[in-house]
Structure 1
Amino acid sequence: MIRLFRTIGLIEGLTTLALFLVAMPLKYWFDYPHLVPPVGMIHGVAFVVYLLAMVVCLWGTGFTAVQWLRTTVASFFPFGTFLNDPMLARHERAKAAA
C-alpha cells in the first residue's frame, strides 16, 4: 500500500508542477489563462486523493506521529511530496524486509 501512496504522491507533485510551471506562467506572462481552471481542478482532485490515500494506505503501517505530520505537511508545499518520498521509500523497504 505504501507503493500505491508513493505513486499518488508523485502524481500530486506532477500536477503541482504543471500548475506552477506551465499553466500559471502562460496565464501571467502570455495572457493565456485557459489552462489554469482545468489544471487547477486536476491538481485539486489529486490533492484530495493524496490526503484520502494517506489515511487509507498508511494506516497501520507503523508510522510515527512525526512521520504522519511530515507526510501531511508535505502535501501543502510545492515539491513537498518529492522531498517526502525518500522517507516513504525507506519505510516501504523496511516493511518489505520485516
Structure 2
Amino acid sequence: MLKTALGRFRFMGLLDGSSLVILLFIAMPLKYWFDIPKAVTVFGTLHGYIFLVYLIAIVYAQFAVRWPFRFTIGAIISAFIPFGNFVLDSRLKKLQAN
C-alpha cells in the first residue's frame, strides 16, 4: 500500500478517518459522560497533527497522481465527515485496481 503515491494517500486517509472516529466516538463520550476532558485534549491534538499530514498527502497525491481538482476537494470534504475517509478509500481502491 505504501509503494505508490495513491497508496500512501490511502494510508493517510485511513489514519485520519480512524483518528476522527476515535475522537468523536471514544474521546468525546469520555469527556462528557465520564468527566475525563484529558481524552479530548490528547486525541484532539493527535488528530490535528494527523489531519495536517493528511492535507499534505492530498497535495502530494494531486501532483503525483495528476488527478482532477475535484478529487482534491472531495478528499478534503471527506475528512470532515465521520467515516467519509473510509468511503473515499473504497473508491480509491477501485481506482487503484484499474
Q: TM-score, normalised by structure 1?
A: 0.86
Kept in 1: contact 2:17–2:86 (CA 8 A): yes
SS at match of 1:61: helix
Structure 2 residue 52 is the aligned partner of structure 1 residue 48: yes
Kept in 1: contact 2:62–2:68 (CA 8 A): no
Task: Structure 1: give runs of 5+ residues left out of the alignment.
Answer: none
For residue 78 of structure 1, what is the amino acid of its counterpart? P
Structure 2 residue 45 is the aligned partner of structure 1 residue 30: no
Structure 1 partner of 2:74 = 70
1: CA distance, partners of 2:64 / 2:79: 20
For residue 14 of structure 2, what is the amino acid of its counterpart? L
SS at match of 1:78: coil
2: CA distance, partners of 1:93 / 1:28: 43
Q: How high is the sequence identity, in percent, across the aligned residues?
A: 35
RMSD over aligned CA atoms reads: 1.3
Structure 2 residue 85 is the aligned partner of structure 1 residue 81: yes
Q: CA deviation at 1:57?
A: 2.6
Higher mean alpha-carbon deviation, 2-11 vs 84-93, is at: 84-93
SS at match of 1:59: helix
Q: TM-score, normalised by structure 2?
A: 0.86
State the aligned residue count: 94
For residue 65 of structure 2, the aligned residue among 58, 61, 64 is 61
Structure 2 partner of 1:93 = 97
1: CA distance, partners of 2:88 / 2:65: 16
For residue 65 of structure 1, what is the amino acid of its counterpart? F
For residue 27 of structure 2, what is the amino acid of its counterpart? A
